[in-house]
């Protein structure tokens, strides 16, 4: 399934299933609430036959969900390690962060106070389907609800290393949809990731190049902290962006094959964003 969250009225949103050129509305305020509604959420979402609306780009401007927590991995592509002049770590470096705001795939994004510009980079995001704590890697993919394209925007502290993904002004961009695992290769391997800045290609990579794959990352993340439905694991960004920090007026386009694209203009205007879940 392809799932998204749309705005019905100024103060009402709903989860929706994307069926070709139409949306089937689901009885939950967003995809996160759908995933948290019980272990059979996917079966119910697939079988639902509610109200339908035509699909339009403006209907998918919201993030599919606002993750309760984000588990972020350190450098996880060979090109990123070379860019940072680092050696491959013995184990994945993970941290739990809470981005300042969460925005969808077509929001206008504010420019945080960032004298050196904004760090960014295309990533594969993994959304957790059910509680995962000390799960073996061989069983980890059973805990995946689906995949999204993701990028973090955050102030560059040290010009050699982007920091502060949960600091003031940081923005997590994700969407426009969550794609469930049965529509993708196992572990979302083989997906092409691309990023462009003002129309110029900056990144191109394949998820098969991940140093630590999705199953192993989820297992390590579940050792670090109990994962709950709707939590998000970001799997790392390829090299290419450190020489291209974002600034006001830049147009950002990041995409993942089969998952859609994030398209943003970076301005000083407040975006259509959501605070992270407390």
Residues 131 and 228 in one domain: yes
What integer pLDDT is reported at residue 268 of this predicted model? 59
Q: Which residues of 151-160 are buried (b: 16+ CB within 10 A; e: fewer)?
A: bbbbbbeeee
What integer pLDDT is reported at residue 9 of this predicted model? 87
- Least confident piece of the model among 19-33, 192-206, 260-274: 260-274
Residues 139 and 53 in one domain: no
Rounded distance between C-alpha atoms, residue 146 and residue 246, angstroms: 29
Q: Indicate the length of the chain as a whole number.
A: 278
Q: Please determine, for residue 251, whether its predicted confidence score (pLDDT) is greater than 50.
A: yes
Residues 16 and 97 in one domain: no
Residues 151 and 216 in one domain: yes
Residue 140 β-bridge partners: none
Average pLDDT, the chain: 88
Task: Name the domain count of the chain.
Answer: 2
Residues 83 and 200 in one domain: yes
User: What is the mean pLDDT of the segment spanning 75-100?
Assistant: 88
Confidence of residue 64 (pLDDT cuts 50, 70, 90): very high
In a domain, 37, yes or no: yes
Domain stop point among 30, 60, 90: 60
The CATH number of whichever domain residue 177 belongs to comes to 3.90.850.10
Q: What is the DSSP string of 211-276?
A: SS-HHHHHHHHHHHS-B-TT-EEE----SS-TTS-B-TT-EEEEEETTTEEEEEEEESS--SEEPP
> In the structure encoding, which two tokens stand for residue 116, read together?
């050196």
Domain stop point among 19, 42, 60: 60
Domain stop point among 60, 88, 110: 60
What integer pLDDT is reported at residue 247 of this predicted model? 82
> In the structure encoding, which two tokens stand for residue 157, read together?
């502290």
In a domain, 95, yes or no: yes
Question: What is the per-residue pLDDT across 19-51, written as a single tens digit (0 to 9) for each?
Answer: 999 999 999 999 999 999 999 999 999 999 989
User: What is the mean pLDDT of the segment spanning 266-277?
Assistant: 54
Q: Please determine, for residue 86, whether its predicted confidence score (pLDDT) is greater than 50.
A: yes
What integer pLDDT is reported at residue 275 of this predicted model? 47
Q: Is 64 in contact with 177 (CB distance < 8 Å)?
A: yes
What integer pLDDT is reported at residue 229 of this predicted model? 97
What integer pLDDT is reported at residue 253 of this predicted model? 95
Give the rounded percent of residues in the chain with a pLDDT score beyond 90.
65
Closest to 241 (Cα-Cα) out of 66, 111, 121, 107: 121
Confidence of residue 111 (pLDDT cuts 50, 70, 90): low
In a domain, 54, yes or no: yes
In a domain, 146, yes or no: yes
Residues 118 and 183 in one domain: yes
Q: Please determine, for residue 278, whether its predicted confidence score (pLDDT) is greater than 50.
A: no
Question: What is the per-residue pLDDT across 129-183, written as a single tens digit (0 to 9) for each?
Answer: 999 999 999 999 999 999 999 998 887 764 434 444 555 567 889 989 999 999 9
Confidence of residue 112 (pLDDT cuts 50, 70, 90): low
The more confidently predicted of residues 161 and 240 is 240
What integer pLDDT is reported at residue 270 of this predicted model? 47
What integer pLDDT is reported at residue 162 of this predicted model? 41
In a domain, 94, yes or no: yes
Residues 37 and 90 in one domain: no
Residues 240 and 110 in one domain: yes
Residues 38 and 96 in one domain: no
In a domain, 65, yes or no: no
Residues 81 and 39 in one domain: no
Q: What is the DSSP string of 8-72?
A: EETTEEEEEEEETTEEEE-SSSSHHHHHTT-TTHHHHHHH----EEE--GGGG-S-S---S-EEE
> In the structure encoding, which two tokens stand for residue 256, read together?
């993942």
Residues 177 and 215 in one domain: yes
The range of the structural domain enclosing residue 269 comes to: 70-274
Q: Is 70 in contact with 148 (CB distance < 8 Å)?
A: no
In a domain, 152, yes or no: yes
In a domain, 169, yes or no: yes
> In the structure encoding, which two tokens stand for residue 47, read together?
């079988």
Confidence of residue 266 (pLDDT cuts 50, 70, 90): confident
Residues 154 and 203 in one domain: yes
């Amino acid at each position: 399934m392809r799932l998204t969250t749309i705005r019905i009225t100024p103060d009402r949103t709903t989860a929706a299933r994307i069926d070709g050129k139409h949306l089937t509305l689901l009885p939950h305020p967003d995809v996160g609430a759908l995933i948290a509604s019980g272990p059979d959420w996917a079966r119910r979402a697939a079988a639902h036959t509610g109200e339908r609306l035509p699909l339009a780009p403006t209907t998918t401007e919201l993030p599919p969900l606002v993750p309760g927590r984000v588990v972020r991995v350190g450098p996880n592509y060979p090109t990123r390690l070379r860019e940072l002049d680092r050696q491959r770590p013995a184990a994945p470096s993970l941290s739990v962060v809470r981005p300042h705001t969460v925005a969808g795939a077509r929001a206008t994004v504010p420019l945080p106070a960032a004298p050196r510009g904004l760090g960014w980079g295309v990533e594969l995001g993994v959304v957790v389907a059910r509680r995962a704590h000390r799960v073996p890697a061989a069983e980890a993919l059973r805990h995946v609800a689906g995949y999204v394209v993701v990028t973090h925007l955050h102030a560059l502290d040290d010009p050699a290393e982007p920091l502060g993904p949960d600091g003031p002004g940081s923005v997590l961009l994700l969407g426009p949809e969550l794609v469930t695992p049965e529509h993708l290769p196992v572990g979302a391997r083989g997906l092409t990731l691309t990023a462009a800045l003002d129309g110029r290609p900056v990144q191109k990579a394949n998820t098969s190049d991940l140093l630590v794959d999705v199953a192993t990352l989820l297992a390590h993340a579940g050792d670090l902290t109990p994962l709950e439905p709707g939590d998000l694991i970001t799997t790392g960004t390829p090299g290419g962006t450190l020489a291209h920090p974002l600034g006001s007026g830049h147009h950002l386009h990041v995409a993942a094959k089969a998952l859609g694209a994030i398209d943003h203009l970076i301005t000083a205007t407040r975006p259509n964003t959501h605070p992270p879940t407390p």
